[in-house]
Amino acid sequence: MTDPTRSAALDLLISVLDRGRPLEEALDALPPTEARDRAAAHRLAAAVLRRMGALDAVMEPFLKKRPPVVVVHILRLGAAALLLLDTPAHAAVATAVELTRARRLDPFAGLVNAVLRKVAAAGVATLEECDGPRLDTPGWLWAAWGADARAIASAHTQEAPIDLTLMPGAVAPEGGVALPSGSWRYPAGTRVTELAGFAEGQFWVQDAAAALPARMLAAQPGERIADLCAAPGGKTAQLIAAGAQVVAVERDANRIARLRGNLARLHLGAEIVQDDATQWRPPELLDGVLLDAPCSATGTIRRHPDVLHLKRPSDIGALNAAQDALIKAACDMLRSGGRLVYAVCSLQPQEGPARIAAALKRLPLRTVPVQAADLGLPPAAITAQGWLRTTPAMWPELGGMDGFFAARLERL
Ligand code: SAM
């Protein structure tokens, strides 16, 4: 019998690496399986995507010539099980051989067996001896991250913890640690739906860094605020919980459904508009806009390691045009003195500081600097201009945080 986890993990790798599909989408497309198998397949496929450069380097000396790509994926899954997930050697090798046969690749079963036995014998030390952070990171990302590249890529080798934002007055579920920025942190792999208070809507999942842009906007009770590009709604929830009158604008129908579902669980109400935020305009000018723009998502590689394999340098230019158009629209929605927070979960300077520098030249906006201490952050998280720039290498002793850029601006 083929191991359902390993088989599903192989399907996930084929979807992401050979068909260019995002991992989340590939997960949704898996045939119905036990939730436990699905979670295990996700974890295994994510481990391969995260450490693929290093895993390939470890196996290279044992491969005289490269077998078909499906066989390479089976080897990667086997090597990840052995070296990253502590699967006992006999089980990791036997499962890979069975899977090779199940996929009608019998002629390669011997090769899979031989290579994985050698990987098992070489042990975890071989993985540690190679320059993992560099091997796991595409050159264009490494170059764009500059002096921070090694620290960021090293942080990507670890699974991210789970962070929660609590409803005002809610008690944190057991097992968490309070972070200096106000979020609560739980170990990687925590089953959130099983935590006390989930069904009652006492919290939502949101990386500690992702919770910062709404805190920077500091919405006041009764203020009229638009949340542009709102789904799945983590920031919308923060703005409503702060007492603002929120309109959430999102153009994707499927994502609107997720936004509605999330707000319903939290018993939070907002006006929800399905529209392109570059075209939509409020009936009257607003006190604030939170613009969490579409981006390359390179700040979330710890949670979405498929980003390493799917994004291309050419994607950034198209995103920049969309980001500029959204900033212009957001500015047009504000009253004089109204606040705009522009945020992206990206580590790429062209999506963050470069967009704001361009906007400040052509739009009636000025920066309202933020202070590290006000957000409970290390000073390095704030740039000389007073903009937020977090990376996964920050808070190393607490388990890092996603990479985010955010700027607080005021309409002149
Ligand atoms: N703010 C969300 C949160 O905190 O949960 C995450 C937003 S995600 C980074 C970007 C979202 O923007 C996606 O849901 C995408 O469908 C939406 N989007 C992209 N371009 C848009 C546009 N022009 N108008 C409205 N929504 C857009």
pLDDT by residue (tens digit) across 322-333? 999 999 999 999
In angstroms, the CA 272 to CA 250 distance is 8
Confidence label for 159 from pLDDT (cuts 50, 70 and 90): very high
Residue type at position 24? E
The Cα 393–Cα 29 span in angstroms is 33
Q: What are the tens digits of pLDDT across the range 124-143? A: 999 999 999 999 999 999 99
Same domain, 248 and 391: yes
Residues 6 or more apart whose Cβ sits within 8 Å of residue 22: 16, 304, 306, 310
Beta carbon of 258 within 6 Å of any ligand 1 atom: no
Q: What CATH number is attached to the domain comprising 226?
A: 3.40.50.150
For 290, the 3-state DSSP assignment is strand
Tell me how crowded residue 203 is: count the other CB atoms within 10 A of its CB: 25
Domain count, the chain: 2
CA distance 352 to 207: 19
Query: Residue 282 domain-assigned?
Result: yes
Q: How far is the CA of 156 from the centre of ligand 1 (A)?
A: 24
Q: Which residue lies with its CA nearest to atom 11 of ligand 1?
A: 229
Q: What is the pLDDT of residue 34?
A: 83
Which numbered atom of ligand 1 lies nearest the CA of 294? 10
Tell me, yes or no, whether 141 lies in a domain: no
Q: Could you tell me the residue range of the domain that residue 43 belongs to?
A: 4-135
Q: Does 345 qualify as catalytic in the annotation?
A: yes
Q: Please identify which residue in the block is written with the tokens 């051989």.
A: 97
Residue 356 lies in a domain: yes
Kindly state whether residue 199 falls inside one of the protein's structural domains.
no
Average the pLDDT over 23-48 and give the result: 92
Indicate the residue among 82, 114, 135 that finishes a domain.
135
CA distance 279 to 170: 37
Instruction: Give yes or no for a contact between 381 and 370, defined as CB atoms under 8 angstroms apart.
Output: no
**Contacts by residues 270-273 (CB-CB < 8 Å, ≥ 24 positions apart):** 270/227, 270/236, 270/239, 270/240, 270/246, 271/246, 271/247, 272/230, 272/247, 272/248, 273/247, 273/248, 273/249
Tell me which of 115, 135, 155 is where a domain ends. Answer: 135
Answer yes or no: pTM beyond 0.75: yes
For ligand 1, the distance from its centroid to the CA atom of residue 343, given in whole angstroms, is 11
Classify residue 65 by its DSSP letter.
S
Looking at residues 194-211, what average pLDDT do you find? 97
My answer on whether 235 and 125 are in the same domain is no
Decide which of 135, 163, 196 is a domain's last residue.
135
Q: How far apart are CA 266 and CA 170, in angstroms?
A: 12
| Residue with CA closest to ligand 1 atom 19 | 294
Peptide bond into 232 cis (omega under 30): yes
Is 270 within the bounds of a domain? yes
